[in-house]
Structure 1
Amino acid sequence: MKSDPQAVKDVVYPCQDTHVIVPASVDRIRTKNLYLRPLEIGDAAALYEFRSRQDVADWLWPKVPHQNIQETEANILNKTFKTPDASGALGRQFTFAVISATDPTQKVIGAVGINGLVPSPSIGYGIHPDFWGKGYVSEAVAAVVDAWWKLSREEPEPRMELNVEREKLFAAVNKANVGSVKVLQKNGFEIVSEASLGGDTVVLFALERPAR
């Protein structure tokens, strides 16, 4: 499990210019075992089923379960970016509901997506404990990361300097959350720093945008 409150952003995330252009309508994604579609406010009840559990909240900041479905609805609404993308567009989001491809009821079992653009883009994810350890989160993260890199960019002007850093995608997790750490490492993220937050060690991971 992974969360991305302002406290974590303030402590660990570096600043990065926004080059991505987020479309108003995001395509649905199908993977081997999953179906990902844009997250909707109507998914709150399904997400509340696990966001209201203490064993889930223990890996988040703050470690407090959602107390009611309205809190989960507010969390979904907060996935909308508060700052413009590179085109100047506001009100976009890039978060997906996670559904098992074999479930005829299409019940939402988790969510994965980009939490914000400032100070830098970061990926967050969560899934119902009934589906922990099945590789679903790694599969969902891989699909969303791939889709994120494929979005159009307003590329910066070419520079004469050598070794200019490529755009990165970040993630912050509790170091004790071994499963979440493995998800990121499996997807190519590398540790760049550690920080202390509320008695936990927060590990910041980064993944470079593939060379064009």
Structure 2
Amino acid sequence: MNFILTTERLYLQPCGAEDLMRLHRLWTNQHIRYFLFDDRIISEDEARSFIQASLDSFNRHNYGLWLVYCQNQCIGFAGFLDAEEAPNLIYGIHPDCWGQGYATEAARAVLTYGLETLSLPRVNADVDEPNTASVQVLQKLGMKQVGHAIVNHHPLLYFTTYS
């Protein structure tokens, strides 16, 4: 199966071992890690383990983590994480590219792939409540807020959508 996703402006390619430094640079950016990892700086080994888990997920479920490219430049990531109830949508765009609709475009490509191509019955997402831009992305995708919680002293909102 071909896992390349394209949109009008973006090209999404599965993240592989050769992408370790690209992914690690994105994930250690202070603005991305603030919400993604509660401001914790992850190690290269953690990023490597995540890439391997993503590759395993592509083999098992036909989904995982994609790197997002615009004009041959890696500007972010989007994908699904394995979770008990349903795959969890994840995405992030480098701050230099914020405000241009790339997060919505990339997340929509992944969500459409999951719901339409893979026929996933449900997709979930969670977001830090103060991350209003990400909340707006999920709302633009048609996902509905279904709950909230405090996790590690951070307010989280839970969203879901069904096929």
Q: Structure 1 length normalisation: TM-score?
A: 0.69
- Check conservation: 1:174, 1:200, Cα contact below 8 A: yes
Call closer, same or farther: CA 1:152–1:35 in 2, change over 3 Å: closer
C-alpha distance in 2, partners of 1:125/1:74? 18
The answer to whether structure 1 residue 46 and structure 2 residue 22 are counterparts is: yes
Matched, 1:74 2:49: yes
State yes or no: 1:96 paired with 2:96: no
Name the amino acid aligned to 2:60. L
Q: CA deviation at 1:110?
A: 1.3
Aligned-residue CA RMSD (Å) = 2.3
Residue in 1 aligned with 2:129? 175
Q: Aligned partners of 2:118 and 2:153: how far apart in 1?
A: 40
Does the 8 Å CA contact 1:26/1:94 hold for their aligned counterparts? no
- 3-state SS in 1 of match to 2:31: helix
Q: Which has the higher Rg, Structure 1 or Structure 2? A: 1
Tell me which protein shows more helix as a share of its residues.
2
Displacement after TM superposition at 1:76 (Å): 1.5
Unpaired runs of 5+ residues, structure 2, are none
Matches within 5 A, 1:181-200: 181-200=135-154
Moved over 6 A (4+): none
Q: Which residue number corresponds to residue 162 of structure 1?
A: none
Contact persistence 2:16–2:55 (CA under 8 A): no
Asked whether the 8 Å contact 1:81–1:90 carries over to 2, the reply is yes
Structure whose residues are more often strand by fraction: 2
Number of corresponding residues: 163
Normalising by structure 2, report the TM-score.
0.88
- How far apart are 1:118 and its partner, in Å? 2.1
Q: Considering Cα pairs closer than 8 Å and 6+ residues apart, tell me whether 1 or 2 has the greater RCO.
A: 1
Paired residues of 1:80 and 1:92 also in contact (CA < 8 A) = no
State whether residues 59 and 174 of structure 1, in contact with CA within 8 Å, keep that contact through their aligned partners in structure 2: yes
Cα separation, 2, equivalents of 1:131 and 1:113: 18
